[in-house]
A and B are shown apart, each in its own frame.
Chain A
Amino acid sequence: MALESLTDPARWPVVRVALHAGLLLALAYLLQRIRDLHPQLPMRQLARGKGGERRALLVLILLFAVVLLHQASWQLTGMLRPQFMAFMQLYDRRDFNPAHRLRRGRILDRNGEVLVYSEEQADRVRRHYRDGPVFGHVVGYRHPRFGATGLEAVASVHLDGGTPLRLADWGRVGRQVLTQDEHPRGHDLWLTLDAELQRHAVALLGARRGAVVMLRPQDGALLVLASTPGFDPERIAATLGGAEDPAAPLLNRATQGLYPPGSTFKVVMAALALEHGFNTTIDCPAEGFTTSARYPRIRDHEYYEAREHGTEWRGHGAIGLGTALARSSNVFFAKLGVGYGHAAFYALADRLHANRPIVLHHSAHGRYIMQTLRLPRLDPDDRYGLAQMSLGQGALLMSPAQLALIGAAVGNQGVAMRPRLLRDQPPEALGQFFSPTTSAALLPLLRAVVTEGTARAIDDPALRIAGKTGTAQHAQGRAHSWFLGLAPAERPTLAVAVLVERGGYGAVAAAPIARALIEQAARRGLLQ
């Protein structure tokens, strides 16, 4: 029968399109006939109209227009709603949904290595995250239930194809809406990260909890932003984010983790002293220092070591700033901090963005931010609290990214560049953390820490690392291990901060990681 041949699966699609077009055309023609015929239907049996219905009709038209416009924002330009797209890609079973064919842009490292990509499998596009947990905290994830984080959120519109800015882009969106044939494709996103170094950093941290941040002082480009343990963006589950889980794999320790900075904060205190023209010595006796007899005495670690071995330690005596930094003398910096007082301390902390998170990137769909310093306003009479904060203990907390940023500022004549993850984001100065002369004076002192001070175990004449160790006490157990490194010491092109949670001495756990990473970076030609 002729009718049955029309519904033959091979021929039906054409017939269906014809019927569909015919129906829409017939409806349009019916509208045309209504327009033609309605003057012939004047309803003369009713009273003469005064047009009172026109205003009501106008209100109705407006209301329906609002509904239709809102509908169009889903139906026609739904691709500009990231969560909606994520929902459809995961939960919509309609094979013809264009969301399944949207090839979201790739995410690449600075050398063009692909970290994240979308691939068509069986008419569906799936998103793959190479190296899963290694880049998890940077690229983030997209999940219809848990939302989006990281750059997948921040750069969502760009990755989905971008807000059409130019006429050609609008034309592309228009064609897509009209035909639905063209496979929509997003834009690629280039990062500043070095995939090789990032992988190396995560491997160096191993099973330990911690973070590594490496950036270029001159332009703020982040080469490494690693946090362990990580998570695999392809396997997001409700069980991941348990608040009671101490591993907290979703927490980006590099940017969001806040830890007592310990002795690494002495770099900031040394800068404070240099800004005030400090050029004398401070007496650092074995019995330590306190602001009042009611408080325990602040002593140097040599005192405790001697006591442990049953010997006696005589104290440093009168030492200058260089020796104090190299030996990481607590007494020296406690006295220094108390000597300069609260006002000078807070003035510098404010310059370092204390209590003000730094926005790396932001868009309507998310922000990538880093925590900086967190410290309370102490009572001006609380000199002991100030002494403790001067050692990076007490009420003072800091993120690993902030330590790297402080190091970078020292290496860049005191100017901190805003850290950035996107290659195409232009470098931008964040602020003058220290004066150029302070930075210039500080660098040789930090170099001495590595050549003859607490970090001498990692010294390598070829790398010429400058830095500062940190061993931060805290209430929950073994001390956190810190290291801040700059290389090469004369004109640093790399600043690196390493934190190992409960790693013990900074020189033991954190410093070797920094050295290994700088070594690897030198091999990749990043140390010029």
Chain B
Amino acid sequence: MADTDSMILAQGLRKSFGDFEAVKGIDVDVRRGEAFGFLGPNGAGKSSTMRMIAAVSPVSAGVLRILGLDPATDGPEIRARIGVCPQEDTLDTELTVRDNLYVYGRYFGLPRKEVRQRVDELLEFVQLTEKASAMVEDLSGGMKRRLTIARSLVNRPEVLLLDEPTTGLDPQARHVVWDRLFRLKQQGVTLVLTTHYMDEAEQLTDRLVVMDKGLIVAEGSPLSLIAEHSTREVAELRFGVAEIGNSHEAIAGKVADLAERVEVLPDRLLLYTADGEETIAQVHERGLEPVATLVRRSTLEDVFLRLTGRTLVD
């Protein structure tokens, strides 16, 4: 089993908390240099999976190898070689930005001089050089996240684990984080991330698995998943307040034959079709008057809706 390019290998991986089974047997193989994603709504089992991969949460059943090592016996050795950016910040708010990175580097057994040099480089990389002497509690959410990412890089990890890297950040801060992660990807760092944002998964991952209720329901590249599970375009129709005999369900019945598939959401109808404009024209021909229409390309959100019947963000 000297497969040196397999960074993470899971077979029939399970995680239980008492009677509750959070992960119900998943198979994953992450290759060197890949950007791999777990996409799914809250409670899908993504974070439980990530904590097992980070070698901080024991495996309940199945096989898990990280860098070819078994987390049950080689936890410290694995953690020495991976980087972890947890969902909840665990930064030391009583220390400065620089000291947070410095002490973390020391935890990995790196010599002081080496750590100081890396800290300077990492501050530069996450654009926090000017904030080096600031206390962590004075940073914005986006800066804290970048600091956490910098901290997870201090041991030059072979795999970087990111659990919901941009949850809770405003759109601008998200784009800065994405940009930094994209650079890491370009440098060949293996990225493994969980997210419930389909745009994040589309932007950052080469390959992803869609998780729902502890199981993997689909696997592939963002484009191949969309091609496989959705149509090229989606026509979104909004109608006014539903009237009796004219509910969304009733309207859906009237247009069902115009699209490959129709989804009824609380506020709109989604018509899955190869040509959205054409479909909307046909809707109008039938005398239906939506108050607003939108044609867009299919996204991973649509894939998820198709596979689970639910939206990613409730």
A binds B: no
Interface, chain B (partner A; CB < 8 A)? none
Interface residues of A (CB under 8 A from B): none
